[in-house]
């Protein structure tokens, strides 16, 4: 089976379960593309990691992003707030280990941590795109909350990786 269908050559495509063709310029496709971009950065971060436990955590985030995209595209996949609760517990556990900061740090450190900082920035853009999309089509509140918590999760995970790799954080100074 070829990878190309040629159905999108005119700038239109379809969403899950719909025969209707819609413009690829619609906001939903910006959001879906941003999910794909975040997922790709997470894949790169995972490729740099030796730690299988952390890599598995990243893979689970990637699965959740696919589920988010599928939900937005019209699939009726369950998306539980338990994912958010799990992220909050892991964030809290990592924050007990890493140095407390009351100031901004510059993104960077080890390669996987730096890539997680990039993924976090992309997830922040995703969150803004979802908020905009929510103004025209109702988004499930759990999906908005998940995206907000995910950026926190990636930020703390990046800091945690730098801590494990003994990479010094650079404090932002004016």
- CATH code, domain carrying 166: 1.20.1200.10
Flag whether 101 is in a domain: yes
Measured from the Cβ of residue 131, the count of other Cβ atoms closer than 10 Å reads 13
Residue 1's pLDDT is what?
72
Q: Are 120 and 65 in contact (CB under 8 A)?
A: no
Q: Encode the chain (174 residues) as per-residue pLDDT tens digits.
A: 777 666 665 666 666 666 777 655 678 889 999 999 999 999 999 999 999 999 999 999 999 999 999 999 888 888 899 999 999 999 999 999 999 988 999 999 999 999 999 999 999 999 999 999 999 999 999 999 999 999 999 999 999 999 999 999 999 988
- Cα 148 → chain centroid: 9
Show the domain range for 105.
21-73+81-171
Residue 125, helix vs strand vs coil: helix
Nearest Cα residue to 147 out of 117, 115, 124: 124
Structural domains counted in the chain? 1
Q: What is the pTM of this model?
A: 0.91
């Amino acid at each position: 089976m070829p990878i190309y269908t040629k159905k999108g050559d005119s700038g239109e495509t379809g969403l899950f379960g719909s025969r209707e063709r819609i413009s690829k310029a619609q906001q939903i496709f910006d959001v879906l593309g941003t999910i794909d971009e975040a997922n790709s950065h997470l894949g790169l971060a995972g490729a740099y990691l030796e730690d299988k436990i952390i890599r598995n955590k990243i893979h689970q985030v990637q699965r959740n992003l696919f589920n988010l995209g599928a939900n937005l595209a019209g699939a009726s996949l369950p998306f539980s707030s338990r994912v958010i609760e799990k992220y909050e517990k892991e964030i809290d556990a990592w924050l007990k280990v890493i140095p407390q900061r009351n100031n901004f740090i510059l993104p960077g450190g080890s390669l996987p941590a730096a890539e997680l900082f990039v993924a976090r920035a992309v997830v922040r853009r995703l969150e803004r795109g979802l908020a905009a999309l929510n103004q025209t089509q109702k988004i499930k509140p759990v999906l908005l909350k998940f995206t907000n918590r995910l950026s926190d999760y990636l930020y703390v995970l990046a800091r945690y990786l730098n801590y494990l790799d003994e990479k010094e954080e650079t404090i932002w100074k004016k």
